[in-house]
Chain A
Amino acid sequence: MTQAPVHSRPAPATAERIVGKPIDRVDGRAKTTGAARYSAEYPYPDIAHAALVHATVSRGRIAGIDAAAASAVPGVLAVITHLNAPAMKPPPPVSMMNLSSLASGTTVNYLNTDEVHWDGQPVAVVVAETLEAAQRAASLVEVTYETLPATFDFAAEEKNAKPQKSDLVQSGGATKGDAEAALAAAPVSVDLRFTTPPHNHNALEPHATTAAWDGDRVTVYDGAQNMYWVRDNLALKFGIPAANVRVISPYVGGAFGGKTMVWAGTILTVLAARVTARPVRLMLTREGVYRTVGGRTPSTQRVALGAEADGRLTALVHTSVTRLGRVGGGPEQVTSQSRHLYDAENILVQQNLVKLDLLPNTVMRAPGESIGTFALESAIDELAGELGMDPIALRMRNEPERNPIDGKRFAHRMLREAYARGAERFGWSERTPEPGSMRDGRWLVGMGVASAYHPSWQFAANVTVRLSADGTVVVRCGFHEMGMGGATAQAQIAADALGVPFEAVRVEYGDTALPTGPGAGGSGQTASIAASLVSACDKLKRSVLALARRSGDSPLRGQRMTGVEARDGGLYRTGRPGLGETYAAILTRAGRDSVEARVGSDTRVGAIAGQVRFMSKLMLDRRRWVKAASGAQFCEVRVDPDTGEVRVSRWVGVFDVGTVINAKTTAGQLRGGIVMGVGMALSEETLVDPRNGRIMNPSLAEYHVPVHADIPSIDVSWLDEPDPTMPLGLIGVGEVSITGAAAAIANAVHHATGRRVRDLPITLDRLL
């Protein structure tokens, strides 16, 4: 950590910093009064409603469609199928120089083909005057199929998996030394197999779209994690310029990766609106979300560890199999954390893939690490048991100085500190190591730990900042708000950067008409915008100073930026409290209503330049550093000795997430990841019938996400040390806290009961 800060900025000398404070969300009132509008809530007087018809075979061709009964339902405007749908362009080939090419959830050109590629693929969309008529008519569309041979049983097909090829961004495997030989020679070893089931995001807001055409321009309200991908994808599909598509998405009712790609519902709403020449709204049914929006792939994983008797790791093997759809999906970086967490002499990691005739998988909160840490961190706990070592001591013995797999430097690494603080807050020393040795009344008590790890990302972001003569500031950037509190955080950053009160800053987001913002993914949105916002504020201050410098009356006459600081609503000479003036004074004297600064360009050339800058920075960064958020997860469980029911009773998470912008929203996000981790550990599983590839529990009643009663008070804290290589020193907080969570629970369950469960979820039948 001797590296000079790249973007970090000294705190204002006098004014109190707003960054770091637990400020209430700026959209709190809108969200608690029902005023916040989500994408199905934009009124049009002549709105029509759509409903989807889903295929009921896994692979085949549509042999016939009888829409007579559906069309006869009073109020039905159209039954759109592949027989009558206008032609759309197929999704583009994937290119890293055009990231929006990644946007398609699948390669299927919906309703432009008679081919069926998974059970649930939309084969028709019905549009009607009322929601009730649309849904009723959709159920009356009779579709017959010629079925084709298909493979969909992951457990059976797993053996046919092929090694994942590496590309620019993702590495399918890596080796250091000869891990298998070292494993065979190790005095102490474990060699274990883990499985994790498919998961669904289950954002509370089902995917919803409202689309209205005006000539060859279309306005689309769509809950999205990347509005620009939606815009570019729709423009391509419907053969219109991207400038003709405006996507508006100020409130997204949860996403967790499920609204990253463009899925069928969005496209078919826009299609339905075009066919009927009416504004159309489609909110997927909950079942429709399961059938048309990908979820997290299942996995099988092998983790083998070899160690000397003193705990020093000599071998670390982590291999995985995950699935893709035959028509899309991406590899999960299941072995990601295993390249970075332990200083093993010999390492072998390899990810393998099998393609099935199922709805393609997609990203879901910490894709890769969330399930990868379950296997690795459970295995470390098992090895600690074999060695008779404390599981934290084993981790600390193998805590690396440099990145284990390739010797690169860590940008930032504070796992030791996280464990030390966590152990103290949790009371780890109270734990008696013997499994089954702790009780509270009739409950068996167990304590477990695991490491959290998630790489940090930074994307391109265009930002404008406008300062008005009345002292107010408007930040504009087309970013996404699914609950992270982005507008609040960016307003805090702008307030500090310009030395204005938090209340003076307004942030505009959620609209493709704004300067192009980053997608919400990889926990990278806040840092990405912050980098551009700080630069834009610097530019703005220079412009304002230039106005002041020109005036003979200004106390800032002749000053350079290096001698000036922003505070108290203006610019003042550093260390000379009285010398300076307010922005209002400077602008008024200069006869200006406002001053604006911009970072990044939305012209075609500008966009390409931005993409090239982003990719080259990414590549350069990756050559220099390993960057990540990390943390130590501590949990206590109670297990009913009669029934095997597991209840999480205590949680302490200590995270290294660099600078924290907002203590309140950060705590919320960290807790939220842990809550989803509790679900992953104990109850969540999407049931895909191995006999036909159909999802059998597409409902919130039968897919068990945690409820209030499942979640204890969660103690989260952070080390608050800036990462010197990240903007303002901040690392994303959206995903790291789901990682390690399932392993911490599995380890605690083992400690409580002596039972080691290597297959998620840890339902009570696995403990009887």
Chain B
Amino acid sequence: MKAFSYVSATDVAAALRAISTEPNAKFLGGGTNLVDLMREEIEQPDTIIDITRLPLSGIEELPGGGVRIGAMVRNSHLAAHRLIRTRYPMLSQAVLTGASAQLRNMATVGGNLLQRTRCLYFYDGAAACNKREPGRGCDAIGGFTRNHAILGASEACVATHPSDMCVALAALDATVVAESVRGVRRIPMTEFHVLPGETPDIETTLAADELVTAVELPDLPVAATSAYRKVRDRASYAFALVSVAAALETSGGAVSAVRLALGGVAAKPWRAYQAEQVLLGAPATDETFERAADAELAPAVAQSQNAFKIELARRAIVATLRRLLTEGSAA
């Protein structure tokens, strides 16, 4: 790990001042991803601005019925919070399937948004990676691509976003609140992460000097009937091959409200708008669920080793919706 200087920020204004004046500085939250990447020398900041002492650790109801989650809320506290467990169970579940209890006790909500890919070639300094070194090429293509994207990839990058929490946030129409010395900005979760295109090194729409201060959840009644299904290579403590965040409400046998997002399939948490369109108003049957999944996955393109993920995603979508229908919510 490269040596760096360390600053601990005690208020947001100080943190924003520091990031705008210190060259090559990074905010440090729980450290579960950044410290690992620094040890691997993939990240090499000259200054670390510790933001864990900022007063951003609250979870509170918003006047309009939504919920505001401070950026420094620990993952474990988010998952265990009553409001989240009862009103947005898919979010609790998504967080609880991520990493391990120890890591969830460290990791922050803000940091989780900025988690970087687990692509083996991104992690290996000896391999070519356009995300790490723009223009160097992509050794993942034609290599081990079991965990790689089937949607929205480019010739420059086929990596996936590893977060579980973000998949639920994308399904829930969450909003990311970001602050900089220029002011406050609100970014819809579905627009927070970007697809790789020609510039896979750019992963979010957050500016380098912006600090995520909160995530806001809208008042969303359908979310009370929701679940997160994660499919992976072992029963726990593994990244998703495919995951599904789903909320479903039916009325008279037809889908009256739905939210659906996929994880492990793209460089961003994948909001399944195509599927939602098919589902809304249609009879809540396996046949509809299958049609919805097919619509979402129609543009899917496989890498050399991950064609199975297209079928897996299809089945996981159908199974998750079916379970919500027959067994109800995870709450």
Known: A642-B316, A683-B233, A687-B120. A768 touches B41 (CB 8 A): no
A699 to B40, CA, bound (A): 12
A168 to chain B, nearest CB (A): 41
CB of A292 within 8 A of chain B? no
In the complex, residue of chain B having the shortest beta-carbon distance to the beta carbon of A689: B143
Partner of B126 from the list A56, A644, A704 (CB cut-off 8 Å) is: A56
* Residues on the A chain within 8 Å of B300, using CB: none
Stretch at the interface among B236-244, B246-254, B263-271: B236-244
Partner of B144 from the list A56, A139, A689 (CB cut-off 8 Å) is: A689
Known: A696-B144, A702-B120. A647 touches B235 (CB 8 A): yes
A262 to chain B, nearest CB (A): 26
CB of A708 within 8 A of chain B? yes
A768 to B242, CA, bound (A): 13
CB of A763 within 8 A of chain B? yes
Contact between A643 and B315 (Cβ–Cβ < 8 Å)? yes
Contact between A765 and B308 (Cβ–Cβ < 8 Å)? yes
* Residues on the A chain within 8 Å of B234, using CB: 682-683, 704, 706-707, 709-710
CB of A27 within 8 A of chain B? no
Contact between A642 and B237 (Cβ–Cβ < 8 Å)? no
Count A/B pairs, Cβ under 8 Å.
77
A697 to B51, CA, bound (A): 32
Contact between A136 and B1 (Cβ–Cβ < 8 Å)? yes
CB of B77 within 8 A of chain A? no
Contact between B144 and A768 (Cβ–Cβ < 8 Å)? no
Contact between B144 and A764 (Cβ–Cβ < 8 Å)? no
Contact between B312 and A765 (Cβ–Cβ < 8 Å)? yes
In the complex, residue of chain A having the shortest beta-carbon distance to the beta carbon of B311: A768
* Residues on the B chain within 8 Å of A707, using CB: 234-237
Contact between B231 and A643 (Cβ–Cβ < 8 Å)? yes
* Residues on the A chain within 8 Å of B231, using CB: 643, 645, 764
Interface of B is mostly: loop
A391 to chain B, nearest CB (A): 27
Known: A687-B120, A764-B231. A704 touches B238 (CB 8 A): yes
CB of B85 within 8 A of chain A? no
A768 to B144, CA, bound (A): 19
A420 to chain B, nearest CB (A): 32
* Residues on the B chain within 8 Å of A139, using CB: 41, 125
A643 to B229, CA, bound (A): 11
Contact between A132 and B1 (Cβ–Cβ < 8 Å)? yes
A154 to B39, CA, bound (A): 32
* Residues on the A chain within 8 Å of B236, using CB: 707-710
Known: A696-B121, A704-B234, A709-B236. A691 touches B143 (CB 8 A): yes
A195 to B125, CA, bound (A): 30
B300 to chain A, nearest CB (A): 15
CB of B142 within 8 A of chain A? yes
CB of A694 within 8 A of chain B? yes
Contact between B233 and A704 (Cβ–Cβ < 8 Å)? yes
Partner of B319 from the list A56, A643, A708, A764 (CB cut-off 8 Å) is: A643
A8 to chain B, nearest CB (A): 44
A167 to B237, CA, bound (A): 45
A644 to B309, CA, bound (A): 12
Known: A683-B233, A764-B231. A642 touches B315 (CB 8 A): yes
A273 to chain B, nearest CB (A): 24
* Residues on the B chain within 8 Å of A642, using CB: 315-316, 318-319
A707 to B118, CA, bound (A): 19
A470 to chain B, nearest CB (A): 47
Contact between B118 and A768 (Cβ–Cβ < 8 Å)? no
A688 to B160, CA, bound (A): 21
In the complex, residue of chain B having the shortest beta-carbon distance to the beta carbon of A766: B308
A493 to B319, CA, bound (A): 57
Most buried by A among B143, B231, B233, B311: B233
CB of B61 within 8 A of chain A? no
B188 to chain A, nearest CB (A): 30
Partner of A701 from the list B3, B118, B311 (CB cut-off 8 Å) is: B118
B154 to chain A, nearest CB (A): 21
A687 to B119, CA, bound (A): 13
Most buried by B among A56, A643, A682: A643
Known: A707-B236, A764-B231. A694 touches B312 (CB 8 A): no
Contact between A643 and B312 (Cβ–Cβ < 8 Å)? yes
* Residues on the B chain within 8 Å of A710, using CB: 234-236
A558 to B257, CA, bound (A): 98
Contact between A697 and B120 (Cβ–Cβ < 8 Å)? yes
Which residues B133-172 have CB closer than 8 A to chain A? 142-144, 146
Contact between A694 and B1 (Cβ–Cβ < 8 Å)? no
CB of B182 within 8 A of chain A? no
In the complex, residue of chain B having the shortest beta-carbon distance to the beta carbon of A690: B143
CB of A337 within 8 A of chain B? no
Most buried by A among B39, B121, B144: B144
In the complex, residue of chain A having the shortest beta-carbon distance to the beta carbon of B309: A765
Convert B309-324 into 0s and 1s, putting 1 for each residue whose CB lies closer than 8 angstroms to a CB of A: 1011001101100000
CB of A260 within 8 A of chain B? no
* Residues on the B chain within 8 Å of A764, using CB: 231, 233, 241, 308, 312
A533 to B168, CA, bound (A): 63
* Residues on the B chain within 8 Å of A704, using CB: 233-234, 238
CB of B198 within 8 A of chain A? no
Convert B114-133 into 0s and 1s, putting 1 for each residue whose CB lies closer than 8 angstroms to a CB of A: 00001011011111000000
A687 to B140, CA, bound (A): 13
CB of A135 within 8 A of chain B? yes
In the complex, residue of chain B having the shortest beta-carbon distance to the beta carbon of A699: B123
B45 to chain A, nearest CB (A): 14
Contact between B3 and A696 (Cβ–Cβ < 8 Å)? no
Contact between B312 and A136 (Cβ–Cβ < 8 Å)? no
* Residues on the B chain within 8 Å of A691, using CB: 142-143
A696 to B147, CA, bound (A): 13
A165 to B239, CA, bound (A): 44
* Residues on the B chain within 8 Å of A687, using CB: 120, 144
B246 to chain A, nearest CB (A): 14
Which residues A121-137 have CB closer than 8 A to chain B? 132, 135-136
Which residues A670-727 have CB closer than 8 A to chain B? 682-683, 687, 689, 691, 694, 696-697, 699, 701-702, 704, 706-710
* Residues on the B chain within 8 Å of A689, using CB: 143-144
* Residues on the A chain within 8 Å of B118, using CB: 701-702
Contact between A768 and B1 (Cβ–Cβ < 8 Å)? no
B229 to chain A, nearest CB (A): 9
* Residues on the B chain within 8 Å of A697, using CB: 120, 144
* Residues on the A chain within 8 Å of B238, using CB: 704
A709 to B124, CA, bound (A): 29
* Residues on the B chain within 8 Å of A682, using CB: 234
* Residues on the B chain within 8 Å of A643, using CB: 231, 312, 315-316, 319
Convert A745-768 into 0s and 1s, putting 1 for each residue whose CB lies closer than 8 angstroms to a CB of B: 000000000000000000111001
Contact between B124 and A696 (Cβ–Cβ < 8 Å)? yes
* Residues on the B chain within 8 Å of A702, using CB: 118, 120
The interface of chain A, by Cβ under 8 A from chain B, is 56, 132, 135-136, 139, 642-645, 647, 682-683, 687, 689, 691, 694, 696-697, 699, 701-702, 704, 706-710, 763-765, 768
The interface of chain B, by Cβ under 8 A from chain A, is 1-3, 39, 41, 118, 120-121, 123-127, 142-144, 146, 231, 233-239, 241, 308-309, 311-312, 315-316, 318-319
9 shortest A-B CB distances, which residue pairs? A765-B308, A709-B235, A642-B319, A709-B236, A56-B126, A696-B120, A642-B315, A710-B235, A643-B231
Q: A696-B124, A765-B146, A768-B315 are in contact. List 19 more A-B contacts (CB 8 A).
A: A132-B3, A136-B2, A136-B3, A643-B231, A643-B315, A644-B312, A647-B235, A689-B143, A691-B142, A694-B127, A696-B143, A701-B118, A706-B234, A707-B235, A708-B236, A710-B236, A764-B231, A764-B312, A765-B308
29 inter-chain pairs at a CB distance below 8 angstroms, sorted by A residue, are A132-B1, A135-B1, A136-B2, A642-B318, A643-B231, A643-B312, A645-B231, A683-B233, A687-B120, A689-B143, A689-B144, A694-B124, A696-B120, A696-B127, A701-B118, A702-B118, A704-B233, A707-B234, A708-B236, A709-B234, A709-B235, A709-B236, A709-B237, A710-B234, A764-B241, A764-B312, A765-B308, A765-B309, A768-B312
